[in-house]
Amino acid sequence: MSNVTLKINGQSVSIDVPSDMPLLWALRDKLNLTGTKYGCGIGECGTCTVLVDGRPVKSCLRTAERMDGREITTIEGISEDASHPVQVAWHEEDVPQCGYCQGGQILAAIALLEENPNPDDAAIDKAMADNLCRCGTYHRIRKAIKRAARYAAETGGES
Amino acid sequence: MSPVKQTMDRRSFLKVSLLASGALVVGCGRPADVDADVSAQDTWVANLYVRINPDGTVTIVSKNPEAGQGVKTAFPMVVAECLNVDWKTVSVEQAPLDDRYGRQAIGGSRGTPDGWDDLRVAGTAARYLLVAAAAEKWGVPAAECTAESGVVEHAASGRSARYETLLEMAARLPVPDVGDLKLKSRPADFSLLGKFVPGVDNKKILTGQPLFGCDLRLDGMLYAVYAKCPVFEGKVRNANVDEIRSLPGVTHAFVVEGTDDLRGLRSGVAIVAETWWQADSARKSLRVDWDTNQADSSSDYEKRAEELRAESGETLGSAGDVDEAFASASQIVEAGYYYPFVSHANMEPQNCTALYKESGELEFWAPTQNPKSARQLVANTLGISRDKIHINLMRIGGGFGRRLRNEFMAEVAWIAREVRRPVQLQWTREDDMRHDYYRPGAWHDFKAGLDDDGRMIAFDHHFITFGANGETVSGADLSPNHYPAGLVPNFRLRQSLVETNVPTGPWRSPGHSAYGWVYQCFFDEVAQAAGRDPLEFRLDMLSRSYGDVQIDRQRMSDVLKLAAKKAGWGSREVGDGRGLGLAVHYDHGAYVAYVVEVAANGSFVKVDKVYAAVDCGPFINLSGAKNQVEGGFVDGLSTANLEVTFVDGAAQQGNFDDYELLRIGQAPKIDVEFIQSDNSPSGLGEPPLAPAAPAVCNAIFAATGTRVRKLPFSRSGISL
């Protein structure tokens, strides 16, 4: 066991975790932040994506211990009322089917738009390549990212 | 305009009551749906309830779980449409398993067709009552009153009343006769249905709020893994559970003997810990001596199928004189097709939470498609009475038929009784993929005889499928009435069985995911051999029938024509290395046609664009319906690129590194158009899947000259 202090969604929390416990399971079982989902455990599906210092990271592949001092954002930390432009776009395009992978998809999309405020299909396909959707909502994910880009542009680039 | 098909069961009945809270409840039920053993006279049975609350909101109780098929949004839309209220005032309460609701399983795309009448009856009856209440209050004829947006109006006197002010009076009025209700039936009647409405759970999904089975957290809850033998049916001889119990965080480790029921509790080792990671970490130190006696392998299946090929098999269905027709045919076309076993691969691996209480009662929080059969399984497995089992239904992270089987619930039940604390069983991805109820593979040998006009006059089909003890296994059967039965004058379907021990089961559009592929690809081959256009060939085939046909030929032709028109079929050149392919299929009540455009670069194929035409009757939610078509196509394409193989009685694939679902860059743009017919609505969870893979394969042929006769694509030298 080791004691780590994680900065999650703007708040510092201190927890005891086994030194090999992935961030995913620290979030889910220690902190009850169940928005981050388990899909494969080997970094293939992207369902467990979180942002670490703004970049998408598969939380099943990083130990919680190594996240000491880093800024972690989970899907719960984007907005409480789904008012972030990416969430608004996701709702208006009605992207989810089962919805299980969508938290990871949204975080990957937010990171993409931070880097490229106006991505084309090729840029979207590249940036979202790590996130599987078993229900096949890819067509709508592309549309939602473009819609979110428009909203962000309208509000002066804040996303 | 064609007449509306009346599916309404005249035995439907209504009950109206006023709750202590002042809410008006209208229930609609059909006794035929309820099990005989719950027919106690004093038990009020209802397929659903509509509750109009004193604050003006409307609640419906939904008996079926949501797995992404959109029922949780579609059903309140129907009620809102018939009750004439703003749909945003309607919400859904998820019902637990309750015998009063009758069938409570999701599968077979039955939600919409089953719910369609009940929802409309309940919503319309409630509106009639509220109008009647206002009319009585004002002393005017009900026929002079109208109801819109939750308000009853009497235009002549300028009076109006909100629904919530009429509840008490409405509850005192006689319940209308179901047969007297004038239901909205046609797209022309609708103001809300058919519109694009985002899902009611979106906010929770988009903000990561707890919703799914694995999101549940209870005080004092433990986490479990359950290790089963990688070889199907293997049993534990012994295991180092004492050592496992001493590992960090582990609270329990024990052997479960299990039963012989392949759909039930199988032998394994349960490890329970304070966190799931600790349970799964301890599993890495687990040493089990397995007793195995099974050695199925895909290569043996292949050899056996090759032997069976030469045999005639059992004739399942025939019409006319097939042999004579072949003798007189001017051209004969033959081809053999093969597709593999595939896994459901739900994004949310199987999981379930259970609490065994001191009273002997067992409570579940379950992502299951079929809670009633789960309860029976658990009752049998634990030897406890059904009425001690309570099942709460959680949102499901992908169903696809996998969660019609509930062995994970028997597992967690056994563990919960042992540990006497709330416990969440979470399978690993590998558990999930290696202990699935797979869609079975099969071989199809086709032979078609053509006359001088290039029309099929003879059709012989040898279906080499999987069986156990001489019977087809689950998901491996084909109806002798499936088209082209009835579309060809001389027809024969023969069947042979390859014996298997591998568990199989329903997989989205059971059977059709494969049958659509083989038929629609072979028809393309026949059309090409006859020198005919694939569209014209199909339309011609659909223009006549020979005896009973299980499809509506007009509806199937119409979706074909629409998809072709949208794609510019026959009227544009797509250029070198590109190709257009089409396919159409009917299953679970709906007709779906695709024209697909692909671009090929050597053996590498990119599926660029899909033009879809769909007739599922009047659809409820444009967004939900389109989403099912878009996703169904992607699923069909993705699955055509996948296989599960077996060696020595175990599945070889275990995770997404060797079972590679389609990624966004491989997914096409999809343009969907619906034919809003006046037929009864069908579901749409399954129908969009079947025609996807054949349309792609026919386009691959057009682009490359390569016929894809074996799946996955890699077996035909194609990569996506």
Q: Which CATH number fits domain B213-292+350-426: 3.40.50.300, 3.30.365.10, 3.30.420.10, 3.50.50.60?
A: 3.30.365.10
Q: H helices of B201-288, where?
A: 202-207, 241-245, 276-283
Q: CATH classification of B13-206, choosing from 3.30.365.10, 3.40.50.300, 3.40.50.450, 3.90.1170.50?
A: 3.30.365.10
Cα–Cα distances in angstroms (integers) from residue B699 to residues B236, B317, B604, B639, in the given order: 50, 31, 13, 17
The CATH number for A103's domain is: 1.10.150.120
The pLDDT of residue B41? 34
A49 at the B interface (CB within 8 A)? Answer: no
**Chain A residues with beta carbon closer than 8 angstroms to that of B223:** 29
Task: Provide the angle, in degrees to the nearest 10, between the axes of the packed helices A85-92 and A138-154.
Answer: 130
Answer whether residue B462 shows pLDDT above 80: yes
Going by pLDDT thresholds of 50, 70 and 90, the confidence category of residue B502 is very high
Q: What is the dihedral of CA B99, B100, B106, B110, to 10 degrees?
A: 140
Cβ contact B630–A137 (<8 Å):
yes
Indicate which of A34, A44, A49, A100 best probes the interface with B, i.e. most B CBs within 10 Å of its own CB.
A100
Which of A10, A42, A77 delimits the end of a domain?
Answer: A77
Least confident of B175-179, B607-611, B629-633, B635-639: B175-179
Residue B335's closest CA among B694, B709, B696? Answer: B709
Q: Is residue A26 part of a domain?
A: yes
Cβ contact, residue pair A41, B426, below 8 Å:
no
Indicate whether B33 pLDDT > 60: no
Q: With pLDDT > 70 as the criterion, what percentage of chain B qualifies?
A: 96
Of B222, B231, B177, nearest to B503 (Cα)?
B231
The residue with greater pLDDT, B678 or B636, is B636
Measure in Å the smallest separation between the Cα of B327 and chain A Cα atoms.
47
Confidence label for B8 from pLDDT (cuts 50, 70 and 90)? very low
Spatial distance between the Cα atoms of A159 and B10, rounded to a whole number of angstroms? 55
Q: What is the mean pLDDT of residues B298-322?
A: 97
Residue B40's pLDDT is 36
Dihedral angle computed from the Cα positions of residues B673, B677, B682 and B688, in that order, rounded to the nearest 10 degrees: -20
The CATH number that domain B299-341+438-716 falls under is 3.30.365.10
In this complex, do A96 and B632 lie within 8 Å of one another by their Cβ atoms? no
List residues bridging with B185 in a β-sheet: none
Domain for residue A133, yes or no? Answer: yes
- pLDDT exceeds 50 at position A109: yes
Residue A94 lies in a domain: yes
Q: Outline where B530-661 has alpha helix (H).
A: 534-541, 553-567, 622-639
Q: Is pLDDT above 50 for B35? A: no
What's the confidence (pLDDT) of residue B92?
85
Contact of B278 with B224, CB cutoff 8 Å:
no
Test A135 with B631 for CB contact under 8 angstroms. Answer: yes
Query: Which residues from A are below 8 Å from B663, CB to CB?
Result: 129, 132, 138
Other C-beta atoms closer than 10 Å to the C-beta of B311 total: 11
Rounded to an integer, the average pLDDT of B351-375 is: 97
Q: Note the pLDDT tens digit of each residue in B517-528.
A: 999 999 999 999
Out of B2-6, B503-507, B669-673, pick the least confident: B2-6
Peptide bond into B712 cis (omega under 30): yes
> What's at B343, amino acid-wise?
S
**Which pLDDT band, with edges at 50, 70 and 90, does B679 fall under?**
confident
CB neighbours of residue B699 within 10 Å: 30
Confidence band of A141 (pLDDT split at 50, 70, 90): very high
**Same domain, yes or no: A58 and A91:** no
Structural domain span for residue A53: 2-77
Residue A128, φ and ψ in degrees, nearest 5:
-100, 10
Chain A: closest CA distance from residue B561 (Å): 24
The pLDDT of B151-174, averaged and rounded, is 96
Write out pLDDT tens, residues B229-270.
999 999 999 999 999 999 999 999 999 999 989 899 999 999
pLDDT band at B44 (very low <50, low <70, confident <90, very high): very low
The domain total for chain A is 2
Of residues A90, A112, A38, A78, the one with CA closest to residue B201:
A90
Of B55-59, B103-107, B434-438, B474-478, the one with minimum mean pLDDT is: B103-107
* Average pLDDT value over all residues in chain B: 93
Domain boundary among A37, A57, A77: A77
**Mean pLDDT over each residue of chain A, to the nearest integer:** 96
- Please tell me the predicted confidence (pLDDT) of residue B485: 97
Same domain, A6 and A73: yes
Q: How far apart are CA B560 and CA B553, in angstroms?
A: 11
Provide the CATH number for the domain around residue A36. Answer: 3.10.20.30
The ipTM is 0.97
Q: What is the DSSP string of B590-620?
A: EEEEEEEEEEEETTEEEEEEEEEEEE-SS-S
Smallest CA-to-CA distance from B441 within B627, B642, B143 is with B642
Cα distance between residue B476 and residue B513, in whole Å? 11
Per DSSP, the three-state class of B546 is coil
Residue whose structure tokens are 């090729």: A122
**Is the predicted pLDDT of residue B289 greater than 80, yes or no?**
yes
> Per-residue pLDDT for B64 more than 50?
yes
Cβ distance of B205 and A102 shorter than 8 Å: yes
Are A8 and A48 in the same domain?
yes
Q: Which residue of B has its CA nearest to A78?
A: B207
How distant is the Cα of A62 from the closest Cα of chain B, in angstroms? 13
Q: What percent of chain B is modeled with pLDDT above 90?
A: 83
Which chain B residues are within 8 Å of A18, Cβ to Cβ? 248-249, 277-278, 281
Does B617 score more than 60 pLDDT? yes
Nearest Cβ partner for A129 among B397, B657, B665 = B665
Same domain, A33 and A92: no
CA closest to A74 among chain B residues: B208
Domains B13-206 and B213-292+350-426 share a fold: yes
Distance CA A114, CA A158 (A): 9
Residues A12 and A71 in one domain: yes
Cα dist from B714 to B340, B440, B604, B710, whole Å: 12, 19, 10, 8
Question: Which pLDDT belongs to residue B47?
Answer: 56
Has residue A148 got a pLDDT over 70?
yes
Alpha-carbon distance A91 to A81, whole Å? 12
Give the residue ranges of DSSP H helices in B191-321. Answer: 202-207, 241-245, 276-283, 298-309
Query: Is the CB of A142 less than 8 angstroms away from the CB of B664?
Result: yes
| Shared domain check, A65 and A97 | no
**A35 CB within 8 Å of a chain B CB:** yes
β-bridge partners, B496: B464
Which member of B223, B428, B632 has the closest CB to residue A29?
A: B223
**B335 near B459, Cβ under 8 Å?**
no
- Locate the domains of chain B by residue range: 13-206, 213-292+350-426, 299-341+438-716
* Greatest distance between any 2 Cα atoms in chain B: 85
Q: What is the pLDDT of residue B7?
A: 37
pLDDT of residue B448: 98
Banded pLDDT at B11 (limits 50, 70, 90) = low
In order, the DSSP letters of chain A are -EEEEEEETTEEEEEEE-TT-BHHHIIIIIS--TTS--S-SSSSS-TTEEEETTEEEETTSSBSGGGTT-EEE-GGGT-SSS-SHHHHHHHHTT--SS-TTHHHHHHHHHHHHHH-SS--HHHHHHHTTT---TT--HHHHHHHHHHHHHHHHHTTT--
pLDDT tens digits, residue range A48-87? 999 999 999 999 999 999 998 899 999 999 999 999 999 9
Which residues of A, range 100-139, sit inside 8 Å of B by Cβ? 100-103, 106, 124-126, 128-129, 131-139
Clarify whether residues A69 and A91 are in a common domain: no
* Domain-ending residue, one of A44, A59, A77: A77
**Is-cis flag, bond preceding B484, omega within 30?**
yes
Distance CA B38, CA B313 (A): 45
The predicted pLDDT at position A156 comes to: 64
Crossing angle of helices B534-541 and B553-567, rounded to 10°: 160
Task: Quote the DSSP letter at residue B89.
Answer: G
Name the residue facing B277 among A21, A128, A131 (closest C-beta): A21
Tell me the C-alpha distance between B625 and B398, whole Å: 17
pLDDT digits (tens, 9 = 90+) for B80-116: 999 999 998 988 888 899 887 777 888 877 778 878 8
A159 belongs to a structural domain: no
In this complex, do A135 and B662 lie within 8 Å of one another by their Cβ atoms? no
**Best residue in A40, A44, A81 for a mutation probing chain B (most B CBs within 10 Å):** A40
On whether both A96 and A68 belong to a single domain, the answer is no
Length of chain B: 720
Where are the extended beta strands (E) located within B310-433? 314-319, 331-339, 351-356, 362-366, 389-393, 423-426
Residue B12: its pLDDT value, please? 63
In chain A, residues with a C-beta closer than 8 Å to the C-beta of B211 are: 99
Contact assignment for A38 to B657 by CB distance below 8 Å = no
Q: Identify all chain A residues contacting B207, using CB atoms and an 8 Å cutoff.
A: 35, 75-76, 78-82, 87
